[in-house]
Structure 1
Amino acid sequence: MEFRQLITFQKVASLMSFTRAAEELSYAQSSVTSQIRALETSLDVELFDRLGGRIRLTEAGERLLEYAEQILALADEARSDVAGRDGPAGTLVIGTMESITSYRMPPLLELFHHRYPRLQLSLRPSLCAETCHALRQGTFDVGFLMEEETDRPGLETMMLAEEPLVLVAAPDHPMTAMRELTLDDLRGASVVATEAGCAYRDLFEEELKGAEMASFLEFGTIEAIKRGVMAGLGVSLLPKITVAAELARGEMTVLPWQPPFKVFTQLAWRRGKRLSREMKLFIDQTARLMKEEPSATAC
C-alpha cells in the first residue's frame, strides 16, 4: 500500500468518478485505474463496486476511506510542522448559505484574513442537504447548516445559535392591520420564498398545507426576496438577522404570527474524520464568535 495510492483512492472516493479524479490529479485515467487495482491487490479486497458507468464504495472501501483521510491529514500536519511554516496554512472548503455568509460570517472572515493569512477559506454556496452530502463524500471540510436540531447520519454537529424567524411584509400590506394571523389567513397570501430545499422554507410550506395552498414565489437570493416583499409582492418568512436593518428603517413590518418550529445555525463535519489543526481552529473560533454576537432577538 503506497502513499500515492491512498491519495488517488481518497480522490476517487470523494468524487465517485475515475475520470474526474484523473483530471484533478493531472493523471491519465489509466494511471488512476491501475493505482486503484494495485491497491485492491495489495489489500486483497475490492474497494469499489463497478455498476456500468457508475461506482460506489464497498464496505471495505468505506473502512479504508476513514483510515486514508486520517493518514493524509496526519501527513499534511507533519509536512507543515517539519517545513516550519508559521501558523495554520492551506485551504478549508466550507459549505455555507447566503444568510450565514452575509450576516453571520463577516467577523469570522475578517479574523482569519488578518490573523491567519496563510489559511484560505473557500466558501461553497450550498443548501443543507447538499452540504451534508458533500461532507460525507469528503468534498467539504466543514459546513454550516440552518435547520431544526437534527442528528444527521455520518456527521458530527455543533449547535451555534438559535435563529429567530419572523414573518415580514411591506408596511402597507393588508395583513399589517390584523392583530393575529391564522394558517388559513396565510394560505390565502402570496409568499415570497427561497427555493425548495431551504429548511425553514420547507417547514413553513409544510405548515401551510391544506385545502387551499399558499402561492409561493421563488427568488434566488435573500436580497431579491427582501426587494420583492418591500415592493408588495407578498409576505416572507426569514431569519430575523437578515431583515434587521430593513425593520429598523421601517421598510418592513413583522406580522403577528409565530412559527411553531425553530431552526438553529449549526456547524458540521464528517463523523470519524481526524480534525486537522486548521479545522480545529476554525471550529473553535466560529463557536467563540457566535457566542459573542448579540442576539438577533434584540434587533
Structure 2
Amino acid sequence: MTFDLSLYQLRTFRAVARLGSFTKAARSLGYAQSSVTSHIRALEARVGIQLVHRLPRGVRLTSAGEIFHDYSAKIFHVVDEMTSALNPVGETEGRASIGASALLLESRVGSLIRDCRYRYPRVRVSPRQLAISKVWEAVREGEVDLALVHGDFWPPEVLTGGLTLEQLPPLEVAPVGSVAITRADNVASALAGVRVLAVDPDCDSHQVLVTALRELYGIDPPVIEVGSLGGARELALNGYGIAMLPVETLRSPEEGSGLEVIAGLPRALLAVHALWAGRDSAMSAVAVVCDVAARIGREQAVQMA
C-alpha cells in the first residue's frame, strides 16, 4: 500500500502535534482553522486510521498518530537534506514571525527587516506588536517564532517552560517633550500640567519619569497609555505630555523634529531579550533573525556612544 501524502498536510500535522490544538496550529501556520481540520481529516483518510483524539480542550495524538509523527519527522529531515544538497551555498531560507514590544517595534524591528532582506533574501520576516506581559505566552503557544522584548517583566513560567531567553544589547530611553517645554524659561512651570505618556503599561520606564517629576518638581502627573511609539511622539509633539522614547529613534535638534530631550530628567537603560522555543539549527530562519537583531543593537549602541 502506498500513501499519497502532501508535505503541507504533514506540516499541519506536525504543528497540531506540537501545539495540541487545531486553533493554535492554524494561528501558527497562518491558516484558517477549517483548513487545519481539513488537512488532518485528509491525512486520516489517506492512511485509513485516526491520528488524533479530538478532546474538549485541544487534541492528543493516538498511538498511531505517535508513530505517524515519528515518521513525518524523518520525512522532513530528508527534505531538509535535499534542500541543503540543492542549495550548496547554504543560503538560509524560511519564514520567521517576530513579536516585539512597542518600543522595539519601531526602534529595532524596522532595521531588522531591512538587514535580513539584504543579508538573507530568502528569509521572510513577519512582525507584530505584543504587550510585554503577553510575549512569553505568544512564543509558548506558537503565535510567534521569536519575540524581542525590553524590560525585566518575566513570570516564572518563562524560565521553567522550556523557552530560551537570550540577552541582546540594551535600549536607552530618554525623557522627551515639545520644544515649548524644553526651551521654556521656567521648565518646572511648563511641566506642571503635563501628562506622562506610557507606550507600554508593563514597561517601568514611564514610572522612572513619574518618580523624577514628583521628587524634583513636586508634580504628581497622570499617566496616559498610548499604545504605540508613534502615538506617544505625536501627543508629545502637540504638548499633550512627555514620554520616555528610545534615544536611537530621536532626530538631532538640527533636523527640527519638534521634540527634544528634557534636561534634568533621568534617562533609563532597558534590558532587551530575544525569546524563542529553541533553535532547531544554527542556520534556521529564527536563528539568523536573532543574530541580526543582536548585530543591529550593537551597531546602534556604537552610533549613540
Root mean square deviation, CA, Å? 4.6
Query: What TM-score comes out, normalization by structure 2 length?
Result: 0.67
Are 1:98 and 1:125, in contact at CA under 8 Å, matched by a contact in 2?
Answer: yes
Letter aligned with residue 218 of structure 1: E
Give the Å deviation of 1:239.
2.0
Alignment of 1:47-58 (within 5 A): 50-51=55-56, 54-55=57-58
Query: Which one of 238, 261, 264 corresponds to residue 256 of structure 1?
Result: 264
- 5+ residue gaps, structure 2, are 27-32
* Identical amino acids, percent of aligned pairs: 15
Query: Structure 1 residues 156 and 186, CA, compared in 2 at 3 Å: closer, same or farther?
Result: farther
Cα gap change, 1:268 to 1:101, in 2 (>3 Å): same
- Matched with 1:77 is 80
1:192 to 197, 201, 204: 197
| 1:75-103, Cα deviation, whole Å (9 max, x unpaired) | 55324214447621221111124533433
Cα contact 2:22–2:58 (8 A) shared by 1: yes
SS at 1:172 equivalent: helix
Q: Letter of the aligned partner of 1:78 in structure 2?
A: E
Q: What one-letter code is carried by the residue in structure 2 that aligns with 1:274?
A: D
Aligned equivalent of 1:275, options 268, 272, 281: 281
Tell me the residue number matched to 2:175. 167
Q: Which whole-Å CA distance do the structure 2 matches of 1:72 and 1:126 have between them? A: 34
Change (3 A) 1:130 1:67: farther
1:222-261 correspondence runs (5 A): 222-245=229-252, 249=256, 251-258=259-266
SS at match of 1:232: coil
Instruction: Tell me which amino acid in the other structure corresponds to 1:157.
Output: L
The number of equivalent residue pairs is: 275
SS across alignment from 2:288: helix
Give the letter for the 1:160 counterpart.
L
Residue 13 of structure 2 corresponds to: 8
Q: 1:178 to 1:239 in 2, by over 3 A?
A: farther
Instruction: Extract unaligned runs of 5+ from structure 1.
Output: 41-45
Scaled by the length of structure 1, the TM-score of the pair is 0.68
User: What's the offset of the Cα at 1:294?
Assistant: 3.9
Label 1:75 to 1:219 Cα distance change in 2 as closer, same or farther (>3 A): farther
Distance in 2, Cα, partners of 1:204 & 1:8: 47
Q: SS at 1:237's partner residue?
A: strand
Asked whether the equivalents of residues 179 and 256 of structure 1 are also in contact (C-alpha less than 8 Å), the reply is: no
Deviations 1:88-142 (A, max 9, x none): 1221111124533433244433332233222211222222333321211223221
Code of the aligned partner of 1:225: A
Q: Counterpart of 1:133 in structure 2: which amino acid?
A: E
Q: CA, structure 1 residues 206+180, in 2 after alignment: closer, same or farther (shift >3 Å)? A: closer
